[in-house]
Amino acid sequence: MMNYYRHGMMGGWGIFMMIFLVILIVVIVYAVIKLVQGSNKNATSQSNRDEALEILNQRYAKGELSDEEYQQKKKILKE
């Protein structure tokens, strides 16, 4: 029985393998979360930019902005 406890679970490496697997899983989950958040951030940014451009177009159509102001602000939004 002494041999079982002394050299069980791959000769003592079992606990290190389990810790390594847990760390690996945590790293993979973290990477997936960051990828998902990054893609959502880009989509939100583009949506906000489109909304701002639509407001700018409406203000220009109402005559609230001159041609120069409109072109200037449109250029800034497209950057």
Domain ranges of the chain: 2-78
Give the pLDDT band (50/70/90) at residue 20.
Answer: very high
Would you state the pLDDT for residue 42? Answer: 60
pLDDT tens column, 28-76: 999 998 888 876 666 666 777 888 889 989 988 998 888 898 899 888 8
How far apart are the two ends of the chain, measured CA to CA in Å? 72
Answer yes or no: are the C-beta atoms of 14 and 21 closer than 8 Å. no
Answer yes or no: are the C-beta atoms of 53 and 74 closer than 8 Å. yes
Both structure tokens of 44: 């939100």
Question: What's the pTM value of the predicted model, to 2 decimals?
Answer: 0.45
Burial 13-22 (b: 16+ CB within 10 A, else e): eeeeeeeeee
